[in-house]
Chain A
Amino acid sequence: MSRLTSAAAIALAAIAWTAQAAERFPGVGRAATRAELRAWDIDVRPDFQGLPPGSGSVADGQKIWDGKCASCHGTFGESNEVFTPLVGGTTAEDIRTGRVKSLADPTVARTTFMKLSTLSTLWDYVRRAMPWNAPKSLSVDEVYAVVAYLLNLADIVPADFVLSNANMAEVQAKLPNRNGMTRAHGLWDVRGKPDVANVACMKDCPVQARVASSLPEQARGSAGNLADQNRAVGPVRGEGKPSAREAAPASMAEQARAAGCLACHAVDHRIVGPSLRDVAARYKGDASAEAKLVAKVRQGGSGVWGDVPMPPHPTLDDALARALVGWILGGAL
């Protein structure tokens, strides 16, 4: 029995596979093993279902933070450089009420802790997705420590705090925005009731007689040259003047086409004349081939490949003729 088969047999025995008598899709899919479930079942729910046992201190969190997190989020989670700030905008009063007052203030930019209503979310996300360039690299205790440090930065727990699976629920009860979410809206259910209503007026409908908003002058051009973002045919053009595009240097195949070679010669099969690969094969190893073929191209000839003559190409530029012959002898790649 192969190693693979025996491993599978053990796994099957361990989880007591029970084939269904009336299985609809026999042979499709298999039972997950316990180890597989443990490896992937990483989500933590708001009621902390899925939260693994462990703990981490604010002090340990700070060490991990300085090494792995601060470069993006700032030493105090306040940075607005790479990502929006994590910490700020919450007060002791918010911790008491569970509603972040500054969310109603249009002048205050939203931070993570202003919005966060469930502690499980932060824990779950740090474990599954952080650090940014090495997700899932933190141990369970390290995740507790990083979350503890963030909670301390947000003035929710003291500096000597140790966060653990045993006290997550206590901390949840202090989250500044724990009461700040609502599901009372019509956008969850496909048959939900819309909160905004318009009417399909068709004639002489009431409208304001002015344009309420238009693109600010300083924003014009911010999205680049619009002439380059619209098709160059059709009923409209993009605003402005199309940018000059740098023409890509023509490939040898394109130059051969432009010179008329490919009207009679294909790369890999005979048309009127021999294929270019056949020409390359015939002259392989012949040191004088280039000079012979350049002369043939310019003067024309017949007899080598049959009776159909190759017409002369007296106007073909000499350098181009040599380049084309070189390309052909190299296999016309």
Chain B
Amino acid sequence: MGSRLQRAPESFLDPQQIAAVQGGRREFLRGAFAAAVAATAATPAARAEPAGDSAILELPEHSRSLGQPVAARPYGMPSKYEHNIQRRQSPGLTRVAEASVSFAPLQGLFGIVTPNGLHFERHHQGWWDIDPSRHRLMVMGLVREAKVYTMDDLMRLPAVSRMHFIECGANTGMEWGNVAVPTVQYTHGMLSCCEFTGVPLATLLDDCGFDRAKGRFVLAEGADGSSMTRTISIERALDDAIVAWAMNGEMLRPENGYPLRLVVPGVQGVSWVKWLRRLKVGDQPFGTKDETVHYVDLMPDGMLRQYTSIQECKSVITSPSGGQQLLDRGYYNVTGVAWSGRGRVKRVDVSFDGGRNWRTARLENPVLTKCLTRFNIDWTWDGGPAILQSRAIDETGYVQPKINQLRAVRGTRSIYHNNAIQSWKVADTGEVSNVQAY
């Protein structure tokens, strides 16, 4: 049993001692702490008393002296003990860091909100910190009146605040053919979720008097060097798209489009144009680079699917997940996130035996449309091998597919829109690894 435990919590009991406690034996305490007891105990009576955890017995400095004053850090930062939880590039994925991706550390996150500093990044020609007083948004094309808005203008308009996930269309794209990366940060980390604040796109289109008869598409364009452009349908534009300046209660981060970005709930992240400078209403799609040469899904017959947009229902267990190590046998709260670009998550099932048998997980509130939903489920690991999977079902009744079901239709080279059930294998050593099982 002692070999089961890979690393005991620092400065506490070692595996043999834990094994002894679990075995119902207490005498180890006398042995383990004999030296300490001998050093401090002056009487035979004290010698019979077990000592205990030094984290309890030795008062730490923070309990014995004065702490730091308010506003010592005017913009607060995470604890220094949290330095492992960072966004990271996947080595070898891209060759140019200005047209690349950094992945959110899903393995270390809780609930459904992504902290702003850990939101995933995808840039097409580098990021900028743009002076908001010099930023402009132009709305033009099939409108009665082409208009220019300053940030002052936009932030006067009636705002909404809504929570939505954003997922890159290429999230999990490395895993179409086979397992390629070790952890959930790299398999699923082009995923984040924030409360966005901004003005509904419909409000701006109305303000400019867009042509309701002919206006079928909206082009969104960024102010960065790439002037990234994407076409969205007028239905998405009028439904729930937001021209947003804030995320999670503060202004957008520069890496996420400060001072203005488009939010297109349910649609892949590339359409959420950052540093948004222009919106153009048209009667045809615009056929931009990122919807003609990239973000097109290759089918087995060589045909490319163009304008694939919606992120279909998907889920992943974030803990325990690939590259992690269970501490010991016994109880675990298995937890993860589920989402759907078509609406709310209705249910999440979890399997511990590679998909043979399933149990329904608890969904934590809130369960919102086109938003991450956190799920939890009890699990007692008996020390044997296991394969953990989660399977989400959205309000349309769509069931998250297996990778072999996706491959049967789309092959292995479509890059985008891989929403397969993820499998994590737990070895009898407690080591968790990324596998495909179906």
Q: Do A and B come from one complex?
A: yes
Asked if B344 lies at the interface with its beta carbon under 8 angstroms from chain A, I say no
Q: Are A36 and B108 in contact (CB under 8 A)?
A: no
Q: Are A232 and B81 in contact (CB under 8 A)?
A: yes
When chains A and B are docked, how far (Å) is the Cα of A103 from the Cα of B413?
10
Give A229-259 interface residues, CB cut-off 8 Å to B.
229-239, 245, 257
Give A78-119 interface residues, CB cut-off 8 Å to B.
81-83, 99-106, 110, 112, 115-118
Q: Are B409 and A196 in contact (CB under 8 A)?
A: yes
Nearest CB in chain A: distance from B275 CB, A: 13
Task: Name the B residues within 8 Å of A237 (CB-CB).
Answer: 6-7, 324-325, 327
* Chain B count of residues within 8 A CB distance of the other chain: 130
Q: Are B95 and A82 in contact (CB under 8 A)?
A: yes
Nearest CB in chain A: distance from B302 CB, A: 3
Asked if B65 lies at the interface with its beta carbon under 8 angstroms from chain A, I say yes
Asked if A183 lies at the interface with its beta carbon under 8 angstroms from chain B, I say yes
Asked if B148 lies at the interface with its beta carbon under 8 angstroms from chain A, I say yes
The closest CB in chain A to the CB of B385 belongs to: A211
Nearest CB in chain B: distance from A223 CB, A: 5
Asked if B207 lies at the interface with its beta carbon under 8 angstroms from chain A, I say yes
Asked if A10 lies at the interface with its beta carbon under 8 angstroms from chain B, I say no
Given A117-B304, A223-B183: A43 touches B326 (CB 8 Å cut-off): no
The closest CB in chain B to the CB of A117 belongs to: B292
Give B313-363 interface residues, CB cut-off 8 Å to A.
319-320, 322-327, 332-333, 341-342, 347, 349, 354-358
The closest CB in chain A to the CB of B177 belongs to: A213
Q: Are B183 and A104 in contact (CB under 8 A)?
A: no
* Chain A count of residues within 8 A CB distance of the other chain: 104
Q: Are B84 and A230 in contact (CB under 8 A)?
A: yes
Given A32-B148, A214-B425, A223-B183: A263 touches B332 (CB 8 Å cut-off): no
Q: Are B280 and A41 in contact (CB under 8 A)?
A: yes
Asked if A182 lies at the interface with its beta carbon under 8 angstroms from chain B, I say yes
Best-buried of A191, A195, A235 by chain B (most CB within 10 Å) = A235
Nearest CB in chain A: distance from B354 CB, A: 6
The closest CB in chain A to the CB of B399 belongs to: A198
Task: Name the B residues within 8 Å of A110 (CB-CB).
Answer: 298
Q: Are A238 and B309 in contact (CB under 8 A)?
A: no
The closest CB in chain B to the CB of A182 belongs to: B303
Q: Are A128 and B229 in contact (CB under 8 A)?
A: yes
Q: Are A103 and B302 in contact (CB under 8 A)?
A: yes
When chains A and B are docked, how far (Å) is the Cα of A201 from the Cα of B182?
28
When chains A and B are docked, how far (Å) is the Cα of A41 from the Cα of B221?
10
Sample of 11 A–B contacts (CB below 8 Å): A27-B156, A31-B148, A101-B302, A181-B296, A188-B309, A188-B310, A190-B342, A195-B409, A213-B436, A233-B81, A239-B324
Given A180-B303, A215-B181, A238-B325: 11 more A-B contacts, CB < 8 Å: A18-B145, A28-B207, A40-B221, A43-B229, A181-B296, A195-B410, A196-B405, A205-B356, A205-B357, A212-B437, A224-B91
- List the 8 shortest-distance A-B pairs measured between CB atoms, nearest first: A104-B302, A103-B302, A226-B323, A187-B308, A213-B436, A236-B324, A125-B289, A198-B399
